[in-house]
């Protein structure tokens, strides 16, 4: 299957895409991972992207599209893939349509207040980078990492005001994308509240797997 996963920050795209990747035996393709990989490997595309990332600017569509196209041509993606974080814009969606057919676009949705709770509940270990959540994956000892015992921290972008801004930006950018896939009969809506396995079951049902 060739799938696109959509959803605002904190909806659980990465978690659900990873579970589905394992079940289907196809790679989860994350644009964030692709960017980091190209930068680390010093590819021409990575060097160009790095200049934008260093200045705090968004990486242009053409660079993201080129990196994704190259990734989708790798052997493990020939039988299918799950795109996580791409496309983010209508331009990217149209470019993707020119690269490969898509079987479905899975849109994970939540109420705004639930999204804020999810995003602001994240805690991160500054030492080993383990990630926790006060509601869904809390550490055994409050405020401390299970692995190394280091006090957990809150990322600056997990503050409520920042989270609200990110969600509003996502909604503005993604509304045309949702319509694009709905108009083509490819959009599958999945309510993303509840336990991870419950949500995964909804994903499987929605995709008729």
Q: What is the pTM of this model?
A: 0.78
* Residue 139: per-residue pLDDT: 93
Please pick, among 155, 159, 179, 184, the residue that the annotation labels catalytic.
155
**What is the average pLDDT across 84-88?**
88
Spot the catalytic one: 19, 117, 122, 123: 122
Nearest to 77 by CA among 105, 44, 106, 100: 100
In the annotation, is 122 catalytic? Answer: yes
Which one is the CATH code of 2-25+77-207: 3.40.50.300, 3.10.20.740, 3.30.70.2190, 3.40.720.10? 3.40.50.300
Among 3-7, 10-14, 78-82, where is mean pLDDT lowest? 10-14
Whether the pLDDT of residue 57 is over 80: the answer is no
pLDDT at 72: 94
Identify the pLDDT of residue 56.
Answer: 62
Q: What is the mean pLDDT of the chain?
A: 89
Task: Using the predicted structure, report yes or no on whether residue 97 has a pLDDT greater than 90.
Answer: yes
The answer to whether residue 183 scores a pLDDT higher than 70 is yes
Predicted local confidence at residue 125, as pLDDT? 93
Buried b (16+ CB within 10 A) or exposed e, 102-125: bebbbbbbbeeeebbbbbbbbbbb
Provide mean pLDDT across the span 88-111. Answer: 93
User: pLDDT value at position 198?
Assistant: 94
What is the arithmetic mean of pLDDT over 141-147? Answer: 95
Residue 104: predicted pLDDT: 97
More confident: 164 or 57: 164
Q: Kindly state the average pLDDT of the residues 80-86.
A: 93
Where do the structural domains in the chain lie, given as residue ranges? 2-25+77-207
- Which value, to the nearest 10 degrees, does the dihedral of the CA atoms of residues 11, 35, 98, 94 take? 50
Is 70 catalytic? The answer is no
| pLDDT at site 118 | 81
Query: Minimum mean pLDDT among 2-16, 77-91, 161-175, 188-202: which range?
Result: 161-175
Q: Which of 2, 36, 37, 88 is catalytic?
A: 88
The mean pLDDT of 100-124, rounded to a whole number, is 89
Concerning whether 155 is annotated as a catalytic residue, the answer is yes
62 or 10, which is more confident: 62
């Amino acid at each position: 299957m060739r799938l696109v996963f959509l959803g605002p920050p904190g909806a659980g795209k990465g978690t659900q895409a990873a579970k589905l990747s394992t079940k289907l035996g196809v790679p989860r393709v994350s644009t964030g991972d692709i960017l980091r990989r190209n930068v680390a490997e010093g590819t021409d595309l990575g060097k160009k992207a790095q200049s934008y990332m260093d200045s705090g600017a968004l990486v242009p569509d053409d660079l993201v599209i080129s990196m994704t196209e190259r990734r989708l041509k790798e052997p493990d993606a020939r039988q299918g893939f799950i795109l996580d974080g791409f496309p983010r814009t209508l331009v990217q969606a149209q470019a993707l349509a020119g690269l490969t057919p898509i079987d479905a676009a899975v849109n994970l949705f939540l109420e705004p207040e639930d999204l804020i709770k999810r995003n602001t509940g994240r805690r991160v270990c500054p030492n080993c980078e383990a990630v926790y959540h006060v509601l869904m994956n809390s550490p055994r000892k409050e405020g401390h990492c299970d692995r190394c015992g280091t006090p957990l921290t809150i990322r600056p972008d997990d503050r409520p005001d920042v989270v609200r801004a990110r969600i509003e930006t996502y909604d503005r950018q993604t509304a045309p994308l949702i319509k694009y896939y709905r108009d083509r009969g490819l959009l599958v809506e999945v309510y993303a509240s509840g336990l991870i396995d419950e949500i995964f079951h909804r994903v499987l049902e929605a995709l008729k797997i």
